[in-house]
Amino acid sequence: MVRIGIIGAAGLSGLELLHLLSRHSEASVKLVTSTKYQGKNVSEVFPELYQYSLTFNSNETDVLGCDVVFLAVPNQASLELVPKLLDQGIRVIDLSGAYRLADTEVFAKFYKLTHTYPELLKEAVFGLTEFFRQQISGARLVANPGCYSTCALLGILPLAELLGELDQHPVIDAKSGVSGAGGRVEDDSMNYVSVNENFKAYKVFSHQHQPEIQQYLSELSSYSSDINGEVIFTPHLLPVNRGILSTIYLHFRKQVDGDQVIRKYTEFADKQKFVEFMGKGRFPDIKMTSHTNRCMIGTECDQSGQNWVIVSSLDNLIKGAAGQAIQNMNIMFGLDESLGLQ
Amino acid sequence: MVRIGIIGAAGLSGLELLHLLSRHSEASVKLVTSTKYQGKNVSEVFPELYQYSLTFNSNETDVLGCDVVFLAVPNQASLELVPKLLDQGIRVIDLSGAYRLADTEVFAKFYKLTHTYPELLKEAVFGLTEFFRQQISGARLVANPGCYSTCALLGILPLAELLGELDQHPVIDAKSGVSGAGGRVEDDSMNYVSVNENFKAYKVFSHQHQPEIQQYLSELSSYSSDINGEVIFTPHLLPVNRGILSTIYLHFRKQVDGDQVIRKYTEFADKQKFVEFMGKGRFPDIKMTSHTNRCMIGTECDQSGQNWVIVSSLDNLIKGAAGQAIQNMNIMFGLDESLGLQ
Amino acid sequence: MVRIGIIGAAGLSGLELLHLLSRHSEASVKLVTSTKYQGKNVSEVFPELYQYSLTFNSNETDVLGCDVVFLAVPNQASLELVPKLLDQGIRVIDLSGAYRLADTEVFAKFYKLTHTYPELLKEAVFGLTEFFRQQISGARLVANPGCYSTCALLGILPLAELLGELDQHPVIDAKSGVSGAGGRVEDDSMNYVSVNENFKAYKVFSHQHQPEIQQYLSELSSYSSDINGEVIFTPHLLPVNRGILSTIYLHFRKQVDGDQVIRKYTEFADKQKFVEFMGKGRFPDIKMTSHTNRCMIGTECDQSGQNWVIVSSLDNLIKGAAGQAIQNMNIMFGLDESLGLQ
Amino acid sequence: MVRIGIIGAAGLSGLELLHLLSRHSEASVKLVTSTKYQGKNVSEVFPELYQYSLTFNSNETDVLGCDVVFLAVPNQASLELVPKLLDQGIRVIDLSGAYRLADTEVFAKFYKLTHTYPELLKEAVFGLTEFFRQQISGARLVANPGCYSTCALLGILPLAELLGELDQHPVIDAKSGVSGAGGRVEDDSMNYVSVNENFKAYKVFSHQHQPEIQQYLSELSSYSSDINGEVIFTPHLLPVNRGILSTIYLHFRKQVDGDQVIRKYTEFADKQKFVEFMGKGRFPDIKMTSHTNRCMIGTECDQSGQNWVIVSSLDNLIKGAAGQAIQNMNIMFGLDESLGLQ
């Protein structure tokens, strides 16, 4: 049994980890921390987690006996905790954005934080499971991807070999439920009456997942920002609890063969347990992936065959956060990748 | 033109006052206060209020030149402000609960506040327009009713003369949209993910509108708590922005004639501009009263004719707060009661 | 492995059965029928059910090789299918209301149908698991309870021994999400714009679950409609996908001891896998039971101790339909009651 | 007083016309038709329209005495009715898509209908008020624009003079509430449980508003589809009742001066009663335009100044349908453009 600690267990991602892990046959949660609920029983505060008899701890470094710790805390807290945990010999899966970006200047710009442990950035493995399995299996530190990044990268990267033919930057118009956009933050903007019967774009040209998508798209494909320009990414806030749907626009220099596109997606999805390609002209909605660890993808082109629209969808709390984190944990500990996720 | 000040203009009730008053031909808002937005322009902070060129003030007693002030602030703030405003010769319509209950002990119990101006309680007129028009017209201080109270009292009181025949206390099972239940409070319980796809009872046997309903039901009908017991009132939180629907259960000692019930409601509604009786066996939903100042009522009995269910509905921000406040203002200043409300 | 047929598998209850059974280790779905999707693959029509490679059949009696059939079809269809299936030696769990009421006249009144197989009514076992385990284990035909009935009966019946002390009929004010109120019916009343931002009472004094609650409350407790009158039951339509919350009002002749009430609920819940009592003054919301097979209950009384409010909540599609049906199937086939339900 | 007939008055656009016209001081509704509600009183079927004492008629050509008729019926019905009404000397404002597209082949492709009155297409005036006031004032037939088209064109066209500098087609990623996407259609796809907690793209590369946007963008700006390619337009279904938000991506050949962009928008908005520009870096959400006839616009560019994101929002039932139709009617009859719309 893998012994697990969850720092920030009472946040939305932490709670989702608890939900999923309650059905995991080879892992057991030993430590949960929460400043707000310190000393209270998990199942008392959250009756739906009745399977747990744990008490919320407030000492985030009281991780003795854990094999791995999930960090589900704000960026700054993660930044500081990671080296402390690694020093104690604990493996870490960080759900924050603290260790995802290679460039500390870009990090500073988008996160408004100075990166105090740049040496760890080289060691951190980006936890986009489908592309980094090998590295994840031996990693001490996994930087679990952002929800928007996972959705966009899994939507585009199956076409990696074709991206050199792009005439222009991809346009990623992404829509997320509230839990993916800072859900339980106690601020007016996430209040029910602010969100319900509403819809808006936010952080236009300034969301921190833009450089994340940019970096890994460049690293994993023939796409080049020098030639194609920066990825355009616009997040929006949907009045739903969970789910992300990304509508991605690619413009190629010349016609792209439809069969080739279908083959790329199909071959990719066939190798992956949690990616499904719906085919040309069929598109996922967020309900299809809700409460699952799956990313579903559909695509269509216009008559010219140069313009392609890709729609990808996932559950931001599962494949976009806690689910993918558990998928990565399974790999780190030599377990079946899908344990606890079906 | 009636010159108006709104204290707490950036809260939900305050904003609704601004919305409604922008269409009022005989009143003009001269002063709006908000601590949070002090110095900012109304239409900049709230673009939907583009008709206003006012700036938020933070000095709540800077009311010189106002004929009437609406208080849309928490109970304690209202409690303190009312005597100060009256001393300046300003008439006041208080949307809080500070001056509604006659009994200061009951007030202390339900509001957790000591009432420091009990002498004003005798002067305050309860702003349930349909029953206190005469008193409102000459009032210095109108205590605008609670949203739940308005909905319940308008549902029951048309049967005032029959209530002596009740075998038991009325049961009022009330459901309110978020704006009526403390909507923009920046607290976790009103967060989108807490409310959406959810529903709950709250403040069971302890909501402050219970004694308000109790008091005015006793005052305005043959109902007696000594004989019939206390009104049972249970509020619930609906995942909608606005609207209240109350399902009211009355049990009479013996069969009550259906025609008589219909006649009572019909006669009452015919005299009122903002009350509509839908008839026996027809019931309002909250959409029918949404964005209006109307209370709609339907009723049905079982075969015995002893058990009656009444359903009443209104928009908690309008007939349950800002709309009724304006209705009362119209009466206070000798205007047509429905000005600005149709 | 129990071999299962699902008649009406593409309706909301049928789909929920498929969802839940995909995780059941001792049962396997062999047959699914749907007129609408006949000949189509389950996972093609419903991508979220990707685990199934079954094709929708349209022949509802093609059940050869099934050990048990779940009927998730309208009342009239169930009424006709049950004897045909029993004749083929198939055990049946009927999710409709066709075989729940003992009195065919009451059935005719509330269902607007003539009961053509009254002899089977005596054999049918009411599938309220917590009260009929013994009978269910040997039953050929289980009449799975209505969602409202399950929620109300589990809320009230733990107090069975006290109900003789009621001064009056219970009042059950119930609120259900759309899937429990006829959800996917293609009719204007369940259209998104009709339901969203709305709330209403429906079938006042005429809902078919009223006589169901009435019958089993009488059968399983000291409550008597002759003395106490008929149960008052008012259903309402909540703008959420799933979940029921019932607010139940009991009025006793004299004070009821709080400790006794707590003890009754606690003892009952302790013996049941899927019932949880939250204690006095604590209440469930629908999110706590959403996506689970649990019924959660809370209660409170007023100062007199004569008036008790009980709040019970469950997921109408799970404990209120498909989940309880599987719980019953587990019992019928000698399996652990909770298989596939945790 | 302008005497008005509304054909299809019980649909969503028809009901919105009735709502708005109840506050119009210079117009009066004389005829309302509905097949479904024929013979019933408007206020009985729709209690929120209590101001009307009209009865639904079913004879769509019984328009004697009307000065103007609004057609709020499906495309085919409008196609047929328009010549009949014009022949009776009645002016027509058609809210359907029957007379918007100049090219009957394109019409046939997107609407799956043969255009039987091509000669009327030349006479029909496109009712995008801000650009066709002069023609509207004298028109016999106004083809009121589609909701998506209005939102996209008002967002882009203020930059008409710059569009020749586009490096590529605009990408319009549009999101609409249910009422704009075929709301009350009695079909499974608009059922509450299908839409709630969901989000999807639909009619990718095939929505009938694409050629409408394409045609008027070409006609009213320096944009050329020969050079820039076809507009890319993807509609999505939002789980809200009303509102459209369009996120529009423009890529220019070289840097575009921000001040120039701001000036263009500001100058345009200053001349229009119902268009507001929020400035660079500020964006509307759908709540800001909900229940108003306004279109609000914001914009931002990236560091290169070549990529611009425009966000435009409006209420699909008002500025996107009934409101703009009334705005056009006001112009046709020499009234103040904003009568009944504030």
Q: For the segment D254-302, what is each residue's pLDDT rounded down to a tens digit?
A: 999 999 999 999 999 999 999 999 999 999 999 999 999 999 999 999 9
Where are the alpha helices (H) located in chain A, listed in sequence order? 12-21, 42-45, 75-87, 104-111, 118-123, 129-137, 147-156, 192-195, 209-220, 225-228, 258-271, 286-289, 323-332
Q: Phi and psi of C237, rounded to 5°?
A: -105, 115
Chain D closest-CA separation from residue C22 CA (Å): 22
Q: Tell me the three-class secondary structure of chain D, residue by residue.
A: CEEEEEECCCCHHHHHHHHHHCCCCCEEEEEEECCCCCCCEHHHHCHHHCCCCCECECCCCCCCCCCEEEECCCHHHHHHHHHHHHHCCCEEEECCCCCCCCCHHHHHHHHCCCCCCHHHHHHCEECCHHHHHHHHHCCCEEECCCHHHHHHHHHHHHHHHHHHHECCCCEEEEEECHHHCCCCCCCHHHEHHHHCCCCEECCCCCCCHHHHHHHHHHHHCCCCHHHHCCCEEEEEECCCCCCEEEEEEEEECCCCCHHHHHHHHHHHHHHCCCEEEEEECCCCCHHHHCCCCCEEEEEEECCCCCEEEEEEEECCCHHHHHHHHHHHHHHHCCCCCCCCCC
What is the DSSP track for A128-159? -HHHHHHHHHT-SEEEPPPHHHHHHHHHHGGG
Q: What type of residue sits at position B179? A: S
Q: Is residue D325 scored above 80 in pLDDT?
A: yes
* Inter-chain touch D193–C241, beta carbons under 8 Å: yes
CA atoms of B111 and C197, how far apart (whole Å): 30
Q: Show residues of chain D in contact with C36, CB under 8 Å.
A: none
A47–chain C Cβ distance below 8 A for any pair: yes
Q: Is residue C61 scored above 80 in pLDDT?
A: no
The neighbour count for residue A105, using CB atoms within 10 Å, is: 9
pLDDT in tens, A141-192: 999 999 999 999 999 999 999 999 999 899 999 999 998 776 545 457 789 9
Of the candidates C198, C285, C307, the beta carbon closest to that of B198 is on C285
Chain A closest-CA separation from residue B195 CA (Å): 7
* Inter-chain touch B168–C171, beta carbons under 8 Å: no
Decide the pairing of beta strands D244-251 and D307-314.
Answer: antiparallel
Give the confidence band of D59 by pLDDT, cuts at 50, 70, 90. Answer: confident
Give the confidence band of D183 by pLDDT, cuts at 50, 70, 90. Answer: low
Residues in chain C: 342
* Inter-chain touch B192–A192, beta carbons under 8 Å: yes
Q: Show residues of chain B in contact with D290, CB under 8 Å.
A: 48
Query: Would you state the pLDDT for residue D156?
Result: 98
D127–chain B Cβ distance below 8 A for any pair: no
CA atoms of C133 and C152, how far apart (whole Å): 19
pLDDT in tens, C78-119: 999 999 999 999 999 999 999 999 999 999 999 999 999 999
pLDDT in tens, D76-92: 999 999 999 999 999 99
Helices (H) and strands (E) in chain C, counts: 13, 13
Is D249 in contact with D189 (CB distance < 8 Å)? no
Q: Show residues of chain D in contact with A198, CB under 8 Å.
A: 240, 243, 285-287
Q: What is the mean pLDDT of residues C278-304?
A: 96
Query: Would you state the pLDDT for residue D181?
Result: 73
Decide the pairing of beta strands C295-301 and C307-314.
Answer: antiparallel
Mean pLDDT of chain A: 94
* Inter-chain touch D184–C193, beta carbons under 8 Å: yes
Of the candidates D48, D276, D291, the beta carbon closest to that of B292 is on D48
Minimal-distance CA residue of chain C relative to B313: C200
Query: Would you state the pLDDT for residue B320?
Result: 98
Q: Is residue D175 scored above 60 in pLDDT?
A: yes
Q: Show residues of chain C in contact with D191, CB under 8 Å.
A: 183-186, 190-192
D155–chain C Cβ distance below 8 A for any pair: no
Query: Would you state the pLDDT for residue B180?
Result: 79
Query: Would you state the pLDDT for residue A63?
Result: 85
Q: What is the mean pLDDT of residues A302-323?
A: 97
Give the confidence band of D137 by pLDDT, cuts at 50, 70, 90. Answer: very high
* Inter-chain touch C240–D196, beta carbons under 8 Å: yes
* Inter-chain touch D193–C184, beta carbons under 8 Å: yes
Query: Would you state the pLDDT for residue B77?
Result: 96
Q: Show residues of chain B in contact with A184, CB under 8 Å.
A: 188, 191, 193-194
Residue the block writes with tokens 């206190």: B132
Query: Would you state the pLDDT for residue A108?
Result: 97
Q: Is residue D185 scored above 80 in pLDDT?
A: no
Q: Show residues of chain B in contact with A179, CB under 8 Å.
A: 193
DSSP character for A83? H
Q: What is the mean pLDDT of residues A197-215?
A: 97
CA atoms of D9 and D269, how far apart (whole Å): 32
The neighbour count for residue C53, using CB atoms within 10 Å, is: 8
Q: Phi and psi of A108, rounded to 5°?
A: -60, -40
- Tell me the helix, strand and coil percentages in chain B, rounded to 5: 40, 20, 40
Q: What is the mean pLDDT of residues A208-227?
A: 91
B87–chain A Cβ distance below 8 A for any pair: no
Mean pLDDT of chain C: 94
Is B287 in contact with D48 (CB distance < 8 Å)? yes
Give this prediction's pTM.
Answer: 0.96
Residue the block writes with tokens 């088209």: D149
CA atoms of B250 and B256, how far apart (whole Å): 11
Best residue in C48, C50, C197, C338 to probe A by mutation, most A CBs within 10 Å? C48
pLDDT one digit per residue (tens) for chain B, 342 residues: 999 999 999 999 999 999 999 999 999 999 999 999 999 999 999 998 988 999 999 887 788 899 999 999 999 999 999 999 999 999 999 999 999 999 999 999 999 999 999 999 999 999 999 999 999 999 999 999 999 999 999 999 999 999 999 998 999 999 999 987 765 454 577 899 999 999 999 999 999 999 999 999 999 998 887 777 799 999 999 999 999 999 999 999 999 999 999 999 999 999 999 999 999 999 999 999 999 999 999 999 999 999 999 999 999 999 999 999 999 999 999 999 999 998
Is C68 in contact with C2 (CB distance < 8 Å)? yes
Q: Which neighbouring-strand residues pair with B70?
A: B6, B93
Minimal-distance CA residue of chain A relative to C279: A44
Q: Is residue D13 scored above 70 in pLDDT?
A: yes
Best residue in D41, D46, D48, D288 to probe B by mutation, most B CBs within 10 Å? D48
Of the candidates C48, C50, C288, the beta carbon closest to that of A48 is on C288
A236–chain D Cβ distance below 8 A for any pair: yes
Chain B closest-CA separation from residue D133 CA (Å): 24
CA atoms of C37 and C58, how far apart (whole Å): 8
CA atoms of A87 and D314, how far apart (whole Å): 55
Chain B closest-CA separation from residue D275 CA (Å): 11
* Inter-chain touch D50–B294, beta carbons under 8 Å: yes
Query: Would you state the pLDDT for residue D187?
Result: 59
Of the candidates A190, A239, A240, the beta carbon closest to that of B191 is on A190
pLDDT in tens, A246-298: 999 999 999 999 999 999 999 999 999 999 999 999 999 999 999 999 999 99
Which residues of C are catalytically annotated? 147
* Inter-chain touch D229–A287, beta carbons under 8 Å: no
Q: Is residue D184 scored above 50 in pLDDT?
A: no
Q: Which neighbouring-strand residues pair with B172?
A: B233, B248
Residue B87 makes CB contacts below 8 A (sequence gap 6+) with none
Q: Show residues of chain D in contact with C186, CB under 8 Å.
A: 186-188, 191
Tokens describing residue D333: 């009859």
Tokens describing residue C246: 């019932």
- Chain pair A-B, CB pairs under 8 angstroms: 66
Of the candidates B171, B200, B300, the beta carbon closest to that of C285 is on B200
Query: Would you state the pLDDT for residue A187?
Result: 59
